[in-house]
Structure 1
Amino acid sequence: MLRLRECFVSRLLSSPSTPTYAIFPLRRLLSAAAPHISPNPGGFAVEDYLVDTCGLTRPQALKASTKLSHLKSPANPDAVLAFLAGLGLSGADVAPVVAKDPQILCAKVDKTLAPVVDGLTGLGLSRSDIARLVSLAHASFRCRSIVPKLHYYLPLLGSFHNFLRLLKRSSHLLSSDLDKLVKPNVAFLRECGLGDCDIAKLCIREPRILAINPERIRAMAACAERLGVRRGSGMFRQGLQAVAFLSEEKVAAKLDYLKNTFRWSDAQVSIAVHKYPNLLGKSKESLKRRSKFLVSKVGVEPVYIAHRPTLLSYSMEGRLRPRYYVIKFLKENGLLDGDLSFFTAVKMTEKVFMEKLISPHKEAAPHLAEDYATACKGEVPANFRLR
């Protein structure tokens, strides 16, 4: 009988088409059957249930069972699994959910899970949206507070898709206090000139930023301002993002590294960071490679880079190096009209670069497009071919 019930639940979980209306009758059926099942003479074998019915590995089940030792019957877990199946979660979906939050099996369907789903549906979420939320929200999904929190976050972040992107990186927003942390931080960011779109972009890059103590976010803003990135400017979001969760000592160390690597003065490093705050987020190895290539190979002056720091944002293999070889080839063969700067060539979109610097030379240099494509794969030819 036990195996029959487990097989039935497993099949139900593997079918995403199970209708929601079938859940509560099923719950009554399973509850009625439960008293007649005795899987273990000593009581309900939780660990075996987690393996056989929920699909957990034995080590996962051993860990999860410590939080479910009070369970005496499979009745409530069966009802929860049936409810999740009704939302469209398959057995493969349910296993990680239970492994992350074993206590979801103890949640009351009628008093907790069903009201949460009703509330989320009222916010416009579809059944598939809610199923994805179950997989990411963990323990927060069985808290009724998830509904008012999404009611606040969805308009702020612009879409449920953006909210899920953030949730995949961190679940802090669902466990954070809206009134004491999140709302004051949002209000402060708006005072700094950030619109909701900017706040959404900032959160997606730095998911914890709205959940920290308001004093910390004010300190981050002050740090960005000391670097010359003013509140209300178009670069303030990037400035805040660049210094987020960095101590003043680490910021100072990054500035020193930039000065030493690019042979910049204090004024030049200030100009570079002001124009491109994300420079502070680049790795030492990345900066070192670009400095060596741009200064030693291309022959760009350090002061030139300081005034055009976005040069350092482009891929070495995908853009800087292959475009340098194209320009060098065109100049050496007298095919370049006018005085095109390296920075101008690098800034061009791929489409514009092809139209202006590759396509016009099909006859004079029929292999140029092929050689450029090869260079973009990191396989730079020894020499671009004229014929």
Structure 2
Amino acid sequence: MLGLRLRECILSHILSSPSKAAFSPLRRLLSATAAPVFPNPISFAVEDYLVGTCGLTRPQAPKASKKLSHLKSPTNPDNVLAFLAGLGLSGADAAAIVAKDPQFLCASVDKTLSPVVAGLTRLGLSSPEIGRLVSVVHKQCRYRSIISKMQYYLPLFGSCHNFLRALQRSSYSYLLSSDLDKLVKPNVAFLRECGLGACDIAKLCIREPRILAINPERVRAMAACAERLGVRRGSGMFRLALQAVAFLSEEKIAAKLDYLKNTFRWSDAQVSIAVRKYPNLLGKSKESLKRRSEFLVSKVGVEPVYIAHRPTLLSYSMEGRLRPRYYVIKFLKENGLLDGDLSFFTAVKMTEKVFMEKLISPHKEAAPHLAEDYATACKGEVPTNFIFRWTRNRL
């Protein structure tokens, strides 16, 4: 029992220590004491180990233990946990990995995990990047094939950061579990034929990582659908069009086009112009589109045809930009403080810094509460109060 307590104390210190300098001697000590602590196999309770040492909750432990019923001692799991701590992963990180992939505790540190880390290091990944990769795609890190796949993906995505972003959007790690030669490489070659460069492909796949891992014929069908919307291959909008139609059926696209026409009172030609200029319209929810239509057309008085030719108006936040800036422009015009004929669209497109410099700061004396009230409106609060104060100050 003394040996067991000593071992648990050492392992607990390793998992809680962020210092790699402290990790090395502790790991050597752990290895030196790696002789079986449980001479009787029956004495190793897997569920208790998962809870007490790995940090799983009691409800998580029974499900995980079913995949570890063959374990007779904690020796290999201890080594794996120490290995994860050496990558800079916390106890909570390790618990999350074990809960999702209990068999990670069965991986050989010397034969599998260490060679994988060595291979990833040779590709230029830092220890924190490797730690994040293991956290996201722990199962694939149990196979050395991940090294060759990372060797292909890193130049394509431009950085490990970009690749990790794509992996985190994919619940099933499509990119690392898919066949490079049969799926990924043919899809990349086709996207390049469509005029997309590596940067465009990376941006597309960060948003839609599955697009590289599906049958190439489906990707060709998506490209054809984007072209039918009026977005030609090689244009700057083609990537966004592909992203917009990816995994949408023809029926859903047709229904969304009809909804856009009815909501904004657009003709077929106008809806075509809007989608061609801003393909992401197809991804907007009906509620979002309805609210913007009611505000822009009914409240602001913007003509539907004007919106069709400037569809990016529909990309801005209602609470954070459209509504607050509308009230500022309205107030400035009504009080004769606006020089020239500034359009609402121009005001909306301005960066926050430029908007403040051009339309808020110059009126500190005439409207001392303007900046404060604009900030309040940007938080989504109804601007009735500051309109009242402006009127009072003016009087």
Same-fold status (TM-score > 0.5): yes
Greater RCO, 1 or 2 (C-alpha within 8 Å, sep 6+): 1
Residue 37 of structure 1 corresponds to 38
Cα deviation, residue 7, structure 1: 2.6
Shift in CA distance, 122/22, structure 1 to aligned 2, threshold 3 Å: farther
Alignment of 1:56-135 (within 5 A): 56-135=56-135
Using the alignment, how far apart are the partners of 1:377 and 1:103 within structure 2?
Answer: 47
Contact 1:14 1:92 in 2 (8 A): no
**Per-residue CA distance 1:83-130 (angstroms, 9 max, x = gap):** 222222232221111111111111111111111011011111222222
Distance in 1, matches of 2:345 and 2:322, equals: 9
Give 2:325's match in structure 1, choosing from 323, 326, 339: 323
The letter of the residue matching 2:312 is: T
Inter-partner Cα distance in structure 1 for 2:131 and 2:26? 15
Following superposition of structure 1 onto structure 2, how do residues 1-387 of structure 1 map, counting pairs within 5 Å? 1=1, 2-19=4-21, 21-22=24-25, 25-26=28-29, 28-32=31-35, 34=36, 36-38=37-39, 42=42, 44-170=44-170, 171-382=173-384, 383=387, 385-386=390-391, 387=393
Q: Which runs of 5+ in 2 are unaligned?
A: none
How far has the Cα of 1:335 moved from its partner?
A: 1.9
What is the CA-CA distance between 1:381 and the residue it aligns to?
2.5
- Which secondary structure state, in structure 2, belongs to the residue aligned with residue 138 of structure 1? coil
Cα deviation code 1:136-157 (max 9, x no counterpart): 1121111101111111111111
- 1:27 to partner: Cα distance: 5.8
Residues 290, 312 of structure 1: 8 Å contact kept: yes
Q: In the aligned structure 1, how far is the partner of 2:64 from the partner of 2:200?
A: 40
Where 1:110 maps in the other structure, the secondary structure is helix
The 2-side partners of 1:355 and 1:105 are apart by 58
3-state SS of 2:67 partner: coil
Quick one: distance in 2 between partners of 1:24 and 1:110? 13
Amino acid at match of 1:114: S
* Contact 2:204/2:239, CA 8 A, preserved across alignment: yes
Provide Cα deviations, 1:341-363, integer angstroms capped at 9, x if missing partner.
11111111112222222222223
Task: Give, as a single letter, the amino acid of the residue that structure 1 aligns with 2:262.
Answer: N
Amino acid at match of 1:74: P
Deviation beyond 3 Å, 4+ runs, structure 1: 18-28
Q: 5+ unaligned residues in a row in structure 1: which ranges?
A: none
**Secondary structure in 1 aligned to 2:59?**
helix
Report the CA distance between 1:24 and its aligned residue. Answer: 6.8
Q: 1: CA distance between counterparts of 2:11 and 2:27?
A: 14
Contact 2:10 2:30 in 1 (8 A): no
1-structure distance, mates of 2:334, 2:31: 83
Conserved 8 A contact 1:134-1:141? yes
CA contact (8 A) 2:237 2:279 kept: yes
Give the drift of 1:80.
Answer: 1.6
My pick for the range that moved more, 231-240 or 65-74, is: 65-74
Classify the secondary structure of the residue corresponding to 1:66. helix
Cα offset, 1:281, TM superposition: 0.6
Aligned letter for 2:199? C
**Deviation string for 1:311-351 (max 9, x for gaps)?**
11111111111111111112212222222211111111112
Question: 2: CA distance between counterparts of 1:213 and 1:240?
Answer: 15
Q: What is the deviation of 1:305?
A: 0.7
| In 2, Cα distance between equivalents of 1:201 and 1:166 | 9
Normalised to the residue count of structure 2, the TM-score between the two structures is 0.92
Contact preservation (8 Å) 1:156, 1:200 = yes
Higher mean displacement: 10-19 or 168-177: 10-19
Over residues 161-210 of structure 1, what are the superposed CA-to-partner deviations in whole Å (9 max), with x where a residue is unaligned?
Answer: 11221222222211111111111111111111111111111111112211
C-alpha distance in structure 1 between counterparts of 2:206 and 2:64, whole Å:
31
Q: Distance in 2 between matches of 1:90 and 1:297?
A: 52
Alpha carbons 1:12, 1:18 under 8 Å: kept: no
* Partner Cα distance (1:49, 1:373) in 2: 53
Q: Which moved more, 1:262-271 or 1:360-369?
A: 360-369
Percent identity of equivalent pairs: 83
Render the CA deviation track for 1:24-64: whole Å, top value 9, x for unaligned.
Answer: 744642432x1x424x6635322221112111112211111
TM value normalised by structure 1:
0.94
Q: How far 1:14 moved relative to its partner?
A: 1.5
Q: What is the Cα deviation at residue 266 of structure 1?
A: 0.7
Residue 272 and residue 381 in structure 1: after superposition, are their counterparts in 2 closer, same or farther (change >3 A)?
A: same
RMSD: 1.8
What is the CA-CA distance between 1:23 and the residue it aligns to? 7.4
| Secondary structure, aligned partner of 1:42 | helix
